[in-house]
Amino acid sequence: MRFFVVWLLLIAATLASFAIGEDVKASPVTTAIILAIAIVKVRFVIQEFMEVRAAPLLLSIATDLWAAVLWVALVAIPYLV
Partner 1 sequence: MFRTKTKVGRLPAEPGWWAFVAGDLVMFGILFATFVYYRALSPQVYERAQTQLSTPLGLLNTLLLLTGSLFVAQAVSAFKHKSDRSFMLFVAGLGTGVAFVGVKVVEWGSKLAHGITPLTNEFFMFYFTFTGIHLVHVVVGMGMLLVIALKAKGGVFADEDRVFVEIGGIFWHLVDLIWIVLFPLIYLTR
Q: Which H helix or E strand runs over 8?
A: helix 2-23
Is residue 41 within 8 Å of residue 20, measured between CB atoms? no
Is residue 32 within 8 Å of residue 24, measured between CB atoms? no
Count, residues near partner 1 per rule CB under 8 A: 49
Residue 27 DSSP code: -
Ranges within 42-81 binding partner 1 (CB under 8 A): 42-57, 59, 62-63, 66, 69-70, 73-74, 77-78, 81
Ranges within 9-28 binding partner 1 (CB under 8 A): 10-11, 14, 17-18, 20-22, 26
Query: Least separation, in Å, of the C-beta of 75 and partner 1?
Result: 9
